[in-house]
């Protein structure tokens, strides 16, 4: 379980999987959609996802070269658990925010 969580538990991985669940994406498109991510971090995260077998990278022999990223079959299996997490957030984050405010007000 720990190894599985390590695959997807960082800040950028879950967001990239979510974006790629919509279909193939080019590097530049991903970079524009993920506010605040550096090019270095985007590249590292995509390489890690590729290494783990969750994303494929396709390079087209064009000028300029075109590179597309896509979820693999294994990557697509993460769509449902991430949807469940998204639904949990929609249902419960208002209560979490309230609890945080109440806790912070005690200090």
pLDDT tens-digit series, residues 19-46: 999 999 999 999 999 989 999 999 999 9
Q: Residue 97: left if φ>0, alpha if ψ -120 to 50, beta else—which one?
A: alpha
CB 57 within 8 A of CB 69: yes
pLDDT tens-digit series, residues 40-53: 999 999 999 999 99
pLDDT at 87 over 80: yes
Burial of 16 (0-12, 13-18, 19+ CB in 10 A): buried
3-state secondary structure of 59: strand
Q: CB atoms < 10 A from the CB of 49, how many?
A: 24
pLDDT at 13: 93
| E-assigned strand segments in 61-104 | 66-71
b/e map 53-88, b = 16+ CB within 10 Å: ebbbeeeeeeeeeeebbebeeebeebeeeeeeeeee
Cα–Cα distance measured from residue 67 to residue 59, given in angstroms and rounded to the nearest whole number: 4
């Amino acid at each position: 379980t720990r190894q599985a969580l390590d695959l997807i538990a960082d800040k950028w991985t879950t967001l990239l999987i979510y974006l790629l669940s919509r279909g193939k994406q080019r590097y530049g498109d991903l970079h524009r959609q993920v506010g605040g991510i550096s090019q270095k971090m985007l590249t590292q995260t995509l390489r890690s996802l590729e290494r783990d077998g969750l994303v494929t990278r396709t390079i087209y022999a064009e000028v300029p070269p075109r590179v597309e990223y896509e979820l693999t079959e294994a990557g697509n299996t993460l769509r449902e658990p991430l949807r469940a997490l998204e639904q949990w957030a929609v249902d419960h984050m208002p209560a979490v925010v309230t609890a945080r405010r109440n806790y912070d007000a005690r200090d």
